Amino acid sequence: MKFEDLQLIEPILKALDEEGYTNPTPIQEKSIPILLEGTDLLGCAQTGTGKTAAFAIPIIQLLYKRKEAGERNNKIHALIVTPTRELAIQIGESFASYGRYTKLRHTVIFGGVTQSSQVNAIKAGVDILVATPGRLLDLIGQGVIRLNDIQLFVLDEADRMLDMGFVNDVKKILKVIPEKRQSLFFSATMPDTIKVLAGNILTNPEKVEVTPVSSTAETIQQEVYYVDKGNKNALLVHLLEDPSIKSALVFTRTKHGADKVVKILDKAKIKAEAIHGNKSQNARQRALSNFKDYTTRVLVATDIAARGIDIDALAFVVNFELPNIPETYVHRIGRTGRAGASGKAVSFCDYEERAYLKDIQKLISMQLPIVEEHPFPAKIFVIEKEEKRTFNNQRGGSGGSNGSGKRPQGGNRPAGGGGKSPEKRRIRVTK
């Protein structure tokens, strides 16, 4: 299927052609016709599937046609609420790209920067508003924004809204927009709490689901390195000594951890920058821009800061720390191997993260290949292997069985074990 087959207006088709887009992604192919009919939509899709265009294109077309029919200007008719500043900016860029020939006006508002330019843009009149919850409610409270004329409402990354504690803010926003509207709800995952929220927002929606969260692209080569926590920095530097790795996106669980990794890489003369919630908006945008143009080789990010970041031709992702939520692993590595391109995702796993790895493998229904030959093998795993080998040998050796097939008693147990199983002794060694 081509975009021409979706009954899109000429101004949008012209913009898409200039962007080099000819074929819609599955979520675009499924969602655009539904939205053009005026139906509510429940979309289950993760980043990298093209979901922004799936809602931006029909919104532009619907508002363009209504304007042509004589609808009043200088009113906010479409509201897109998204959890992070980076994602809001990227959504704004999408509206600018696809709507460049429609004369529709949009603006993006978010916290962390002075509000003056955002307020001026709103007062000048906009058709489409992209916002993060905090700044939106702030400007509503100041009387700068009125949402009485909203016809289209989009809640994007709903599961991340929940993670970041924005659910109450979303409920406040719902109280000040018209009940009669077309609503779009997107989430990468659909736990019960998200289903309840969707039920409060949508009316008789059509459901579109693509790329289930439990799947990873076949084009992504995935590997695991067992490494002690104290050797993760050295292993990362070792991997980045490979000149074929032009750029790498590295994930940590915490903001502090991201900053520490940047310092280590800087000492190793590897240009790196961090992107997380404690960075100013300007610093975050600058770091992202530097990474995209290869000025910065490594971008170290926390999950919340990186959510929604779309980086073309990203070939290498590193899970410096495994996420404690298995779905997050899928989101992280989904930033490589997009649109059929190849990519590689490597994960560092220390002893305390083994449970996380087990949950990830259960979710994606595959065992991740283990790279055993590297300079920093985890000592605890080596100890574990040796103890299991010793234990099994003694069970099957001349002194390891009493002839009845039962476990031997007393002195025939592994030396030094004190009568304890290898599992219990292994845990003691880690301490």
Q: What is the pLDDT of residues 329-368, one digit of tens each?
A: 887 887 776 655 678 999 999 999 999 999 899 888 889 9
Any idea what the CATH number is for the domain that residue 29 is in? 3.40.50.300
Q: Are residues 36 and 82 in the same domain?
A: yes
Q: Are residues 399 and 365 in the same domain?
A: no
Q: Are residues 29 and 174 in the same domain?
A: yes
**pTM score, whole prediction:** 0.59
Please report whether residue 104 resides in a domain. Answer: yes
Q: pLDDT at position 399, please?
A: 41
List all residues 6 or more positions away from 34 whose beta carbon is below 8 Å from its beta carbon. Answer: 41, 206, 208
Task: Give which of 323, 361, 357, 317 is closest to 337, Cα–Cα.
Answer: 317
Please report whether residue 10 resides in a domain. Answer: yes
CA distance to 29, 231, 345, per residue, from 375 (Å): 47, 10, 19
Q: pLDDT at position 393, please?
A: 56
> How far apart, in whole angstroms, are the C-alpha atoms of residue 273 and residue 218?
29
Please report whether residue 238 resides in a domain. Answer: yes
Q: Please check whether residue 175 is in contact with residue 101, taking contact to mean a CB–CB distance below 8 angstroms.
A: no
Q: pLDDT at position 334, please?
A: 79
Q: Which residues of the chain have pLDDT under 50?
A: 383-384, 386-387, 390-391, 397-431
Residue 227 domain boundaries? 220-377
Q: Please check whether residue 422 is in contact with residue 414, taking contact to mean a CB–CB distance below 8 angstroms.
A: yes
Task: Give which of 130, 38, 58 is closest to 90, Cα–Cα.
Answer: 130
Q: Are residues 74 and 170 in the same domain?
A: yes
Q: Are residues 290 and 249 in the same domain?
A: yes
Q: pLDDT at position 394, please?
A: 52
Q: Are residues 224 and 190 in the same domain?
A: no
Domain finish residue from 154, 178, 209: 209
Domain finish residue from 332, 352, 377: 377
Residue 366 has phi, psi (to 5 degrees) of -160, 150
Please report whether residue 215 resides in a domain. Answer: no
CA 97 to chain centre: 23
Q: Are residues 99 and 133 in the same domain?
A: yes
> How far apart, in whole angstroms, are the C-alpha atoms of residue 14 and residue 99?
10
Give how many domains the chain has, as a whole number.
3
Q: Are residues 227 and 195 in the same domain?
A: no
Please report whether residue 214 resides in a domain. Answer: no
Please report whether residue 195 resides in a domain. Answer: yes
225: helix, coil or strand? strand
Q: Please check whether residue 214 is in contact with residue 330, taking contact to mean a CB–CB distance below 8 angstroms.
A: yes
Q: pLDDT at position 380, please?
A: 64
Please report whether residue 310 resides in a domain. Answer: yes
Q: Are residues 249 and 138 in the same domain?
A: no
Domain finish residue from 337, 358, 377: 377
Q: Are residues 420 and 311 in the same domain?
A: no
Strands (E), 179-229: 182-187, 206-209, 220-226
Q: Are residues 401 and 423 in the same domain?
A: yes
Q: Are residues 372 and 385 in the same domain?
A: no
